[in-house]
Amino acid sequence: MSAVGSLRELALDRGHVAAIARREVKTVTRNRGTLVLFVGFSLLLLGFTWAGGGHASGYVPTVVDLLTPVELLVPVLAFAIGYRVFVSDRERGELAVHATLPPSRSSIVLGTFFGRGVILALGVAVAALPALVFVVLSGNGTSPIYAAQRGADSPLLFARFVAVATLLGLAALAGALAVSAVARSAKSAVGLALGLWAVLAVGADVGSLAALQRGVLSVGSLPTAVAFGPGGAYRGLVFATVLDVATVEATAAITPAVGVLSLVGWTVAGLVVAAYALW
Amino acid sequence: MTDNPVVTASNVACVYGPVSALAGVSASIHPGSVTAVVGPNGGGKSTFLRTLAGVATPTSGTVAYPVTEGTHAVGYLPQSFRPREDLTVGETVRYYDSLVGDGPTPEELLDRVGLTHVADRRVGALSGGMLRLLGVAVAGVGDPDLVVLDEPTSGLDRTMTRRVFESCATLADEDCGVVVATHDLPTIESVADRALLLDRGRLQADRALPIEGTAFATAYDDAVDGETTVRSGRRTRDPAHDTGGEPV
C-alpha cells in the first residue's frame, strides 16, 4: 500500500462515522436478542441485589454486592454485542463492499464502536434501574451518614458505579471488535472472545500477584499494577469513586485518573487492533 | 464509448501459497461497455474481479484507475452479498449512498434495478433475485466509473437473470464500465460487448460479442466441460485438465 493509501486508511471522517454509527444503532435495536440480553442482565442484577442483602442498608452496600457480578457480566454483555460484527460483515460481503467505498478502516471501526457503545451504555444504565428502585424501596427513603462523616450514601454513588461499569463495558466492547476483526469465522471469534475475556478477567490479577511473589513488584505498587488490567482498573475506580465514602480514612488504592487511563487505554488498543485487522 | 479505459490490469498475478489463482492476466475496461468474464469454477474469475475492484492486491502486475483524486472509482458486488437483514431495502441503499455522497439518489438507484416497490421491505424478506438486484443498486452508488459484479445471477431464474443483465446495460448506458462474472454466456451475450475467458488463472480468450466463428465457444465448452469429473460420488477437479493449455 502506498503512503497516501496508508494515510487514507487512517483518516477519520465525522460524516462517515456518524452514518456507520446510525446503522449500528438500527441493527442492534431491531435485534430481539439484544433485548433478551439486557433483560437477562437486569434480572441478574436484581437477583444479586436481593441475594446480597445490602439493599436494606443503602446504595454503597449494594454496590459492594454487585461489584464482582458486574465485573464478570458487563464484559460478557459487551462481547455478545460486538464479537460478531465484522466477522458477519465479512461473511456477507459487506466488508468487501466497504473496502471499495471512501470510508477508512478507522472510520468504520469508530462508527461501529460509537453505535454499539451507545446501546451498551444505555442498556447498562436502564438494566440497573430495577436494582436501584429495589434499593430505594428497601431503604425506606433513609440516607445514612457514615460514621466517619466522609460522605452520605446517595443514589449518585450508585450512578457513579454504573458509569464505571459502562467504562469497563466499553473497553470490553473495543476488545470484542478487535476479536471480530481478527477472526475469520464466527467459531474462531467465539474462541478468541472467550480467551480474551479470560485474560482480561483474571490475567492481569494473576500476573501482578506472580510479579509480587517474585519480588518484581512491591506491595505498595501492587494496586497500580493490578489496575493495568481492565478488571483491576474497574475495581480500583469503584473503590476510589464510590466505596471510599464509607471508609474512615481515604483508602482508595489507585487514583481515579489511573483507573480511567487504564480503561481508556484498553479501549483505544482494541480499536486500533480492529482498524488494523479489518482488511 | 471513449478510448480511455476506466481500469487497466497489466500482467496481474495472484498467488496464494502453492496456488496460482491468476497468472499474467492483462485487460482494459472501457466506459460504456459491458465485459463478461466467463470460465469454469476455480478458473480465476472472482480473483480477477477482486483485483479489478481493488479488494485484492495482486502478487505482481498492476491495476490502474485513471481517475481524478476524490472521485468514486469502483462499485463492487461480491459473490455472496447479503446486507444486514434487519434494515429495509431503502435504508440499505441510503446508508451506502451516505458513505459516498455524490451520484444518483437512493430512489434513482432503486428505480434503476426495479426495486422501488420493495423499498420499505426488510432485506431479510427479499428473494434471492431481489437480493442480487439490491447488490447491483449498491454497486451503483456514487456513480462509479467501473462496476464489478461477481456472478450477480447465480441461482436466479431466467426472468431475474435478464433483469440483472438489463441493469448492467443501464449502467453501461450511463457511461460506466461494467464487468460481470457469469456462467451464463448465452444470456449475457445480448447485453455484453466483450467476453474474457479465464481458466486455470490464465486469460484463455478475449473476444468481442457477438462471437463470430466457433473458437471461443469451443474453448469455453472445453474449459467448462473439463472442470469437473465425478469420482466416488465426489466432484473433483480433473487433474488431466490442470496441465497444459495454450491461449485460444
DSSP A226-250: HTTSHHHHHHHHHHHHTGGGGSSS-
Helix ranges (H only) for chain A are 3-10, 14-29, 32-52, 59-82, 85-91, 94-99, 105-138, 155-182, 186-198, 204-213, 222-226, 230-241, 256-277
Contact B95 A19 (CB under 8 A): yes
Please give the pLDDT value at position A146: 56
Q: What's at B82, amino acid-wise?
A: R
Q: What is the pLDDT of residue A140?
A: 53
Average pLDDT, chain B: 83
Phi/psi-derived region of residue B38, left when phi > 0, alpha when psi is between -120 and 50, beta in every other case: beta
- Cα torsion angle, A63, A66, A68, A70, sign: negative
Chain A interface includes B77 (CB < 8 A): yes
| pLDDT for res B244 | 32
Residue B87 sits at the chain A interface (C-beta within 8 Å): yes
Nearest Cα to Cα of residue A209 among A200, A198, A221: A221
Q: One-letter amino acid identity for A272?
A: V
For residue A111, give how far its alpha carbon lies from the nearest alpha carbon of chain B (Å): 12
A101 and B99: CB-CB below 8 Å? yes
Residues of B in contact with A278 (CB under 8 A): none
Tell me what pLDDT residue A8 has.
Answer: 57
Quickly list DSSP for chain B.
--SS-SEEEEEEEEEETTEEEEEEEEEEE-TT-EEEEE--TTSSHHHHHHHHHTSS--SEEEEE----TTS--EEEE-TT----TTSBHHHHHHHHHHHH-SSS-HHHHHHHTT-GGGTTSBGGG--HHHHHHHHHHHHTTT--SEEEEESTTTT--HHHHHHHHHHHHHHHHTT-EEEEE-S-HHHHTTT-SEEEEEETTEEEEEEESSPPSSHHHHHHHHHHHTSEEEETTEEEE-GGGGS-----
Instruction: Identify which of A267, A264, A266, A241 has the alpha carbon closest to the alpha carbon of residue A254.
Output: A241
CA A103 to chain centre: 26
User: Distance between alpha carbon B1 and the CA centroid of its chain, in Å?
Assistant: 19
CA distances (Å), B155 to each of A78, A119, B4, B207, in order?
38, 38, 34, 26
ipTM: 0.86
CB atoms within 10 A of CB A141: 6
Q: Given A31, A91, A102, which is nearest B100 (Cβ)? A: A102
Report the distance separating Cα A255 and Cα A251, nearest Å: 10
Question: What is the pLDDT at residue B160?
Answer: 83
For chain A, residues with pLDDT lower than 50 are: 1-4, 149
pLDDT confidence of residue B231: 30
**CA-CA distance, A181 to A189, in Å (whole number)?**
9
With beta carbons under 8 A apart, name residues in chain B contacting A279: 55
Q: Which residues of chain B have pLDDT under 50?
A: 1, 228-248
Query: What residues 177-236 of chain B have any CB closer than 8 A to a CB of chain A?
Result: none
Name which of B50, B72, B138 is nearest A102 (Cβ-Cβ): B72
pLDDT confidence of residue B214: 65
Residue-wise pLDDT for B166-216, tens only, equals 889 988 998 899 999 998 888 888 889 999 999 999 998 888 877 766 667
Residue B68 is predicted with a pLDDT of 57
Residue numbers in A near B91 (CB within 8 A): 23, 26
Query: Nine-digit cell at B244?
Result: 497444459
Which of chain A's residues have a Cβ under 8 Å away from the Cβ of B96?
Answer: 97, 101
B98 lies within 8 A of chain A by CB: yes
Q: What is the pTM of this model?
A: 0.86
Residue from B126, B128, B136 nearest B180 by CA: B136
Q: Does the beta-carbon distance from A101 to B96 stay under 8 Å?
A: yes
**Would you tell me how many other CB atoms lie within 10 Å of the CB of residue A161?**
25
How high is the pLDDT of residue A249? 65
B65 touches chain A (CB under 8 A): no
Q: Do B81 and A93 touch (CB under 8 A)?
A: yes
The Cα-based distances of B130 to A56, B115, B133 in angstroms read: 59, 7, 5
3-class SS of residue A101: coil
Q: How many CB atoms lie within 10 A of CB B193?
A: 16
Q: List A residues 87-116 in contact with B (Cβ-Cβ < 8 A).
A: 91-94, 96-103
Per-residue cell: A119: 446501546
